[in-house]
A and B are shown apart, each in its own frame.
Chain A
């Protein structure tokens, strides 16, 4: 009897183990399991929207089960690398196609041309950049290009000190004494995050000092050197800004959240970040009255670069090579369209996550928040230049980011940092 019970128990255990992973991708002819990797967390709007979209999509499509993983910031980047290395790629994932967001997918051979899965009746292909040599689109961006070097101005605060929107760098310098007397910073940056210096500041400066919108990609290709005069001048501008008090050296200790909070709490006249940070300004008075602008004319700036901003392809969702099965591809394409439908694009627009949607014939609502309208205006009026970490990655990029922090902290000179980056880039 005992033996029979033991045998039965072992059989049950083995059966349980065999079916512990649930049904496979297409267990029967109707049910499809879609493995998806989303971006966001439960505390930000993108994450909250994601949870809602997954739930409602499954309700509307009972034959599709979504197994999703929602990650944000560094956790996302770490998990992508780990999952791809482990051969556990999702069917559909948040991704990019540049050096920062696209490298893992490219190296793992998981990028596929998503054009067959993008419904051209719903999305404007002219707004989606060509990402591969043959015009491939590896994903569907959630919006048009992202401006990464926006100068957010608290206009009422600037005016209260007796100033107007700066047209030149000298105008910013002129604000320093009054701002200091009032206990305010002039320009705040999340300088504790190395990437912020590169993506949100130097990307704008290098285009201004070189007069070339594509200086970075040319440097990565070896046509320019990172210790060229233009780069030394651009890095030197950081030295100058700190020396002039335009950027306080303490910003090397300020993280992303604290930077936005300082501006939101009216402790800084300006802050530097990407356009997506607009929605993070929680003080509605400040958010409704702030102005989004490009850096004013800078010392040593080349002609023709007035008002330029750095911009990178927006990230988005794309099918991966793992979505091989026809049924999975169909379900993934359906979900891809769902997360980018007009309602979601409008929500992202309102949240400040994007500049403009890629939905075909999209009509901008009349009641959009002020800062969103400004973003659109800035995107339409400014000259776009390259974002550094869309092209430069690995040790040279790390050295550049840490180098700018050293410059701001008075630990290194522009020439030293430029030489170090050039040496690493050519290794």
Chain B
């Protein structure tokens, strides 16, 4: 390597080093530390003493029915994000971009509005909506003529994710809509005009021109949706009340939190919580890998 290349290399390293250092310290270190912790019985309240316990925490985790229940609910959240928020956000962005509705700015603001609200506020709002004799129950009472009718989906394990899915759609769809809208605006309008001149219908323009051109954006939003869905805690925690509702709607981050921070009967709870958080990381990476593989299979990557 000649001195000029060396200087260049040092220059590159100088640019990369601060970011790398921050990444290693803030992202990589906690992940690696958490992996190490999950093979011990560490509890900071015991004065820093710990022993190596092998795979005990993982065995305990896999044998706990609540883990599988939480994982199932997390997969529902992922599905709602990937197959709900993204397609709806994309469709709304396309409608606004093509000017298919009047009052574009108004609708854009309205759909994006929930992004300005705290998930806790939205959670409490939805909790009031679905509470006893809340607006949803009142509507049911009005429709059924039964004054005692209540909205009980939150009380059943099989249905609790329905109102939560609605809240998730309401809250996050605007975020994806804005991303798609920004990317749609980058598309050269001549391409669409050319397709129109060639006789393409609106559906064909969308399916054969727009979607392929934004496949890279779809991939990025999918990765964002998967990562966000698996670490999502606040909204579900705020919508549900402690006890049956939260148990029904349990997701891995809440399960991890309750285990590590509230279960004082388990003296190894911090290490057990680490095992759960590692499972979240592994599942996230695996799902993102699947998303990448699917994108590769369909040659995702923005054209033009």
Question: Could you list which residues of chain A lie within 8 angstroms of chain B, going by C-beta atoms?
Answer: 74, 77-78, 81-82, 84-87, 99, 103-104, 107-109, 183, 192-195, 197, 248-255, 258, 393-396, 398, 401-402, 405-406, 409, 411
Contacts and interface: CB of A to CB of B under 8 A. Distances in A.
A249 B265 CA distance: 31
Nearest to B258: A398
Contact of A84 (B45, B147, B247, B265): B45
A192 B262 contact: no
Contact of B132 (A108, A194, A253, A402): A253
B67 to A, nearest CB: 13
B266 to A, nearest CB: 7
Interface of B: 43-45, 47, 127, 130-134, 137, 147-148, 150-152, 154-156, 241-245, 247, 261-267, 270
B14 to A, nearest CB: 18
Given A250-B150, A253-B155, A193 B241 contact: yes
Contact of A394 (B150, B241, B263): B263
B263 A82 contact: no
Nearest to A253: B132
Interface pairs A-B: 8 shortest CB-CB: A194-B243, A394-B265, A253-B132, A405-B244, A103-B264, A192-B241, A108-B45, A402-B244
B140 to A, nearest CB: 12
Given A77-B262, A192-B132, A396-B265, 17 more contacts: A81-B261, A109-B47, A193-B241, A193-B243, A194-B242, A194-B243, A195-B242, A253-B150, A253-B152, A254-B131, A255-B127, A258-B131, A393-B264, A393-B265, A406-B244, A409-B155, A409-B244
A255 B131 contact: yes
Given A85-B44, A107-B45, A109-B45, A409 B152 contact: yes
Interface of A is mostly: helix
Nearest to B149: A250
A134 B252 CA distance: 42
Contacts of B265: 393-396
A192 B261 contact: no
A188 to B, nearest CB: 10
Contacts of A251: 132
A194 B247 CA distance: 10
B155 A252 contact: yes
A77 B264 CA distance: 12
Contacts of A409: 152, 155, 244
B270 A85 contact: yes
Contacts of B156: 411
B155 A104 contact: no
A194 B244 contact: yes
A253 B131 contact: yes
6 contacts: A81-B261, A85-B261, A107-B264, A250-B133, A252-B132, A393-B264
Most buried by B among A251, A393, A402: A402
Nearest to A195: B242
Contacts of A77: 262
Contacts of B148: 248, 250
A409 B160 CA distance: 14
A102 B23 CA distance: 38
A87 B242 CA distance: 27
Nearest to B265: A394
B206 to A, nearest CB: 42
Given A82-B261, A104-B264, A255 B241 contact: yes
Given A253-B150, A409-B155, A402 B247 contact: yes
A192 B247 contact: no
A197 B133 CA distance: 20
Contacts of A108: 45
Contact of B245 (A192, A195, A393, A394): A192
Nearest to B132: A253
B154 A253 contact: yes
Contacts of A192: 131-132, 241, 243, 245
Contacts of B43: 107
A248 B152 CA distance: 13
Most buried by A among B132, B147, B148, B155: B132
A405 B243 contact: yes
Contacts of B152: 253, 409
A109 B44 CA distance: 11
Contacts of A253: 130-132, 134, 137, 150-152, 154-155
B44 A81 contact: no
Nearest to B155: A409
Most buried by A among B45, B134, B148, B243: B243
Contacts of A197: 243
Nearest to B43: A107
Contacts of A193: 241-243
A195 B243 contact: yes
Most buried by B among A99, A108, A398: A398
Nearest to B247: A402
Contacts of B245: 192
Contact of B247 (A85, A87, A104, A398): A398
A84 B131 CA distance: 35
Contacts of A87: 44
B264 A254 contact: no
B3 to A, nearest CB: 26
B174 to A, nearest CB: 28
Contacts of A107: 43, 45, 264, 267
B243 A401 contact: yes
B193 to A, nearest CB: 55
A221 to B, nearest CB: 14
A258 B243 contact: no
B137 to A, nearest CB: 8
A78 B131 contact: no
B188 to A, nearest CB: 47
A254 B132 contact: yes
A405 B270 contact: no
B178 to A, nearest CB: 32
Contacts of A258: 131-132
Contacts of B137: 253
A104 B242 CA distance: 19
Most buried by B among A192, A195, A249, A393: A192
Nearest to A399: B247
Given A258-B131, A394-B264, A405 B45 contact: no
Nearest to A255: B241
